[in-house]
Amino acid sequence: MPKKTGILGGTFNPLHIGHLIMANEAYHALSLDEVRFMPSAKPPHKINHAIESNEHRINMVQLAIEHIPYFKIELIEFERSGISFTYDTIVQLKKREPETEFYFIIGGDMIDYLPSWSRIDELVKEVQFVGIMRPGFEGETSYPILKLQTPFIDLSSTVIRERIKKRIDVTFLLPEKVYNYITKEELYES
């Protein structure tokens, strides 16, 4: 029986409890063996955005998941240069691990943007997409997506960065170790 691995990609700038909830819900609903958090090295849709250093983002992911045995970190996008296109990443993962069945976990809001993804028609043949549904987004698509209804928290990394910048409390929005790391490293303050 193939290993069933969920992949949750993102900039994780920073990783927050919404990411953890999505990963955990997919893990249990699909009886996955593990979920890997895959920080994007150079996401094509955020080329002109300010993103914390790779080192900080990787450290925050590791701190957030270190106590959960079925959560791992996947650094494949840092092993190659250039823009991180999901198609290239999935092909590389499948070549590295031919016996693994991959499930690519996305927020329901991203389903609406799938037509703009690079090589999407080929990508949906390579990996099973899993959409974590969110209120306010239709999630209607002709692409084969497994849709999961899960507890929802309307939270984004952008909101957290803005709150930190304005010195508004973010307690309970981030894992405690991530919050402590951000404070110690003085991230997102300006």
Structure tokens at 123: 């990508």
Report the share of the chain in percent with pLDDT over 70. 93
Structure tokens at 139: 């999630």
Region of 82 please: left (phi>0), alpha (psi -120 to 50) or beta. Answer: left
Q: What are phi and psi of 162, to 5 degrees?
A: -65, -40
The C-alpha atoms of residue 151 and residue 96 are separated, in whole angstroms, by 34
Q: What pLDDT score was predicted for residue 43?
A: 60
List pLDDT tens digits, range 101-142: 999 999 887 888 899 999 999 999 999 999 988 766 667 788
Amino acid letter, 165:
K
The C-alpha atoms of residue 12 and residue 6 are separated, in whole angstroms, by 16
List pLDDT tens digits, range 133-175: 876 666 778 889 999 888 878 888 999 999 999 999 999 999 9
List pLDDT tens digits, range 22-59: 999 999 999 999 999 999 887 665 544 556 788 999 99
CATH class of this structure's domain 3-154: alpha beta
Report the predicted TM-score, pTM, of the whole model to 2 decimal places. Answer: 0.91
The C-alpha atoms of residue 168 and residue 140 are separated, in whole angstroms, by 36
Give CA separation, 31 vs 5, 24, 28, 96, 125, in Å.
9, 10, 5, 22, 21
3-state secondary structure of 98: coil
CA dihedral 157, 163, 169, 175 (to 10 degrees): 10
Count of all residues that appear for the chain in the document: 190
Domain ranges of the chain: 3-154
The C-alpha atoms of residue 62 and residue 129 are separated, in whole angstroms, by 24
